[in-house]
Amino acid sequence: MAGALPCLIFAATLMLASIKSSTASRMAKPGCQETCGNLTIPYPFGIGEGCFHEGFDVSCENNTVYRHNSSSRLKIYDINLLGGQAKVNTFIASKCLNDTSGWASLDTGKFFTVSTIANKLTAVGCNTLAFLEGYNEHSVGAGCFSMCVDKESVDDGVQCSGMGCCQTSIAPNLVSSNITFDNRFNNHEVRGFNPCSYAFVAEQDWFRFEASYLEDNKFTEKFNDGVPTVLDWVAGYEYCDEAMKNMSMYACISKNSQCITSPNATGYLCKCKNGFAGNPYLEEGCQDINECNLPHQYPCHGICSNIIGDYDCSCKSGTQSTEPKRKTCDPIAVSERARLTKMFAGISACAVLLLICIFALLIEYQKRKLVKEKKIFFQQNGGLLLYEQIRSKQVDTVRIFTKEELENATNNFDSSRELGRGGHGTVYKGILKDGRVVAIKRSKVMNMDQKDEFAQEMVILSQINHRNVVKLLGCCLEVEVPMLVYECIPNGTLFDLMHGKNRRLSISLDIRLKIAQESAEALAYLHSSASPPIVHGDVKSPNILLGDNHTAKVTDFGASRMLPTDEIQFMTMVQGTIGYLDPEYLQERQLTEKSDVYSFGVVLLELITMKFAIYSDSAGEKRNLASSFLLAMKENGLQFILDKNILEFETELLQEIAQLAKCCLSMRGEERPLMREVAERLRSIRSTWRVQLIQNPSRETECLLENSSHYDPSSTGQHGSLMTLDLESGR
């Protein structure tokens, strides 16, 4: 038995660790920062947009958590999720000799109040009367008087007895308060041993009084940084029944959570139902407690089996009753003595058995948890839907990758493998086991609805096969946020080509027309291939990849369907693609094919002006390319905005392209042409241009014809010389 004790302790530690890790992993919203310094930040608290519930916005600076947007900028030490409390740092009011000022105020901000149970108003000093004036729904106040005429009368205990230190309770639900001193009492009479008075609201049992605090500077030296104060918070000011009526603001969204009226403040809090633990404010926050793993809290003297939200305790076979009984197991005693003997023998056997069981259970539990998690994610991410489709042969082009495969392919998502980072996620370069190079996109966080749509989207996308659309090869659904695997397009994006490092090279008009036409074809195809039409929703030059021979490949397709629709995240999205966004979409929030037409119009403009969608003019002012262009069109000043390198070519043709772009940029969606029409128009413009090149050979034409047999755009040398000629012909 000697070895059993350390064993037990070890087992208990392991158990605690496993409980900690399983709950700790679900405290913040997925994808949000979970800790700051050594403080865990549980949702509804959160850092950054989309990570907090309204009113619980905090920031992390220098490993310290601050409550945002409260006028006193409160530093948070501790958050008690289930008790609805937070410990913050507040300031001390101090007054020395007979100066009249000296105050400290506190504004708690929305949903927070100063806890009346947990705090006390404390004053330190002799001949000191400290006041707290505050406001809950009414004006309220409290005062505390400390009296001592000489040093000897100061009570040198740890408690505040009223001599040198006093304490009093404060009113409930304070949202703002101001601590001041009564000027009729001052330190002049006791200046010899107590020059200053101090007052503060702090956690009740935290402060230990010492007589030396009355001496010069002793107190401020020790408590210069402020004192800890407990605030109560609520998820909302309503009572539970009212709160549940408005689901848009209701905070207890976890499946097995419930609403409780806060005992400490006015409003409601959330809690997991009995048998569940975790964060009740998160969608999947409340998780079943496996009671059988916690024999101390949930003693079971038989066979313990966990069930969702509860547990069963049945007798071991061999005893009289084999029928399962709840919680306890007391087979009818034959005789007291027999029972005792049996029990005694049982206990030691049980202890050993228990130990082994605990170990086995622990290992099994962790393993199962992982498998279960994967399975849950798989289901959440629409895996079953997709699996069905694959089986019924509706989808035969898409593979489902495992998490391990993708981790191996990307060297564990090493940052050196990063190809790009955008509004929707990060793209990594991956090398599959069979040597194929692929691009792997890890999306940002999604909610459940988006995940369902994601699967639908994948089914649609997998059926698309167009030479100008980046091909979807597969996906991985076993992770919290699904990952997509695309074919890898080697030559960068159109954005890089125009604005990247090599932008000093001019791009021939022919190539520009080719890219424009091919992108338009891709979008037209996508708009017409399915019903309802698939809308890209994020057409922009960074989303047009370039393959060999400058073949355009549209990517990030269907991002729109995965885009969040609630307001906060919507704003992020707008920022991500500002400059390309259809103004009508902004107003009506209704994404249509015509939104893509508008965005394509901006890409077309980029191609003929070589400017960014939002660019700085010569005066350094930010301008919207679409607006500048439309203005230039109106004022017949097209030559001032077009790229100088193509300006001299063929004004009629350029006019035609500009006219097309103008149509695409029409304010009203219905006035814009269909993508199919745009593609047709570009096709005819391009063929006109080619015919002209052949009939009326300029130097660019000669160059093109000369090089056509061994034209290889992937070799920069060739490319470069071609461009030089290009430039010359422009002069």
Ligand X SMILES: *[C@@H]1O[C@H](CO)[C@@H](O)[C@H](O)[C@H]1NC(C)=O
Q: Give the footprint of ligand X on this chain (CB under 6 A).
A: 38, 62, 69-71, 83-85, 97-98, 103, 105, 109, 115, 117-118, 178, 180, 188, 246, 248-249, 263-264, 269
Whether omega for the bond prior to residue 532 falls within 30 degrees of 0, making it cis, is: yes
Smallest gap from residue 452 Cβ to ligand X (A): 25
Residue-level length of the chain = 731
Which CB, 115 or 290, lies closer to ligand X?
A: 115
Q: How far is the C-alpha of 392 from the C-alpha of 395, rounded, in Å?
A: 8
631: which 2 tokens? Answer: 């203005």
Smallest gap from residue 47 Cβ to ligand X (A): 16
Which CB, 107 or 480, lies closer to ligand X?
A: 107
Smallest gap from residue 36 Cβ to ligand X (A): 10
Whole-angstrom Cα Rg for the chain = 35
Which CB, 214 or 235, lies closer to ligand X?
A: 235
Residue 594 dihedral angles phi and psi, to the nearest 5°: -70, -20
Q: Is 538 a catalytic residue?
A: yes
Which CB, 17 or 350, lies closer to ligand X?
A: 17
Of the candidates 57, 396, 434, 538, the residue annotated as catalytic is 538
Smallest gap from residue 98 Cβ to ligand X (A): 4
Which CB, 141 or 673, lies closer to ligand X?
A: 141
Q: How far is the C-alpha of 154 from the C-alpha of 190, rounded, in Å?
A: 12
Strands annotated E in 447-542: 472-476, 483-487
Q: How far is the C-alpha of 138 from the C-alpha of 140, rounded, in Å?
A: 6
User: How many separate helices (H) and strands (E) can be counted in the chain?
Assistant: 20, 33
Q: How far is the C-alpha of 197 from the C-alpha of 219, rounded, in Å?
A: 10
Smallest gap from residue 64 Cβ to ligand X (A): 8
Q: How far is the C-alpha of 52 from the C-alpha of 255, rounded, in Å?
A: 19
Which CB, 181 or 486, lies closer to ligand X?
A: 181
- Residues 654-671: b if buried by 16+ CB within 10 A, e if exposed: bebbbebbbbbbbeebee
Smallest gap from residue 45 Cβ to ligand X (A): 16
CA proximity to 534, closest of 607, 453, 601: 453
Which CB, 263 or 299, lies closer to ligand X?
A: 263
Q: How far is the C-alpha of 42 from the C-alpha of 28, rounded, in Å?
A: 5
328: which 2 tokens? Answer: 């306890």
Place of tokens 């947009």: 49
Residues pairing with 431 in the sheet:
437
Smallest gap from residue 599 Cβ to ligand X (A): 31
3-state secondary structure of 264: coil
Cβ-Cβ contacts under 8 Å for 560 (sequence gap 6 or more): 535, 536, 537, 538, 591
Q: Are 224 and 126 in contact (CB under 8 A)?
A: no
287: which 2 tokens? Answer: 């998780």
The DSSP line for 426-491 is EEEEEE-TTS-EEEEEEE----HHHHHHHHHHHHHHHH---TTBPPEEEEE-SSSS-EEEEEPPTT
Q: How far is the C-alpha of 224 from the C-alpha of 207, rounded, in Å?
A: 14
Smallest gap from residue 127 Cβ to ligand X (A): 12
Q: Which amino acid is at 119?
A: N
Q: Which residue is nearest to ligand X (CB)?
A: 83
CA 122 → CA 85, 112, 676, distances in Å?
A: 20, 21, 76
Kindly state the DSSP code that residue 469 receives in the 8-state scheme. Answer: B
Q: Are 117 and 158 in contact (CB under 8 A)?
A: no
Smallest gap from residue 70 Cβ to ligand X (A): 5
Task: Tell me: is residue 429 an annotated ligand-binding position.
Answer: no
Kindly state the DSSP code that residue 638 receives in the 8-state scheme. Answer: H
Which CB, 71 or 465, lies closer to ligand X?
A: 71
Which CB, 176 or 397, lies closer to ligand X?
A: 176
Q: How far is the C-alpha of 482 from the C-alpha of 382, rounded, in Å?
A: 9
Question: H helices of 159-317, where?
Answer: 218-223, 240-245
Annotated binding-site members for ATP:
441
Q: Which residues are catalytic?
A: 538
Annotated binding-site members:
441
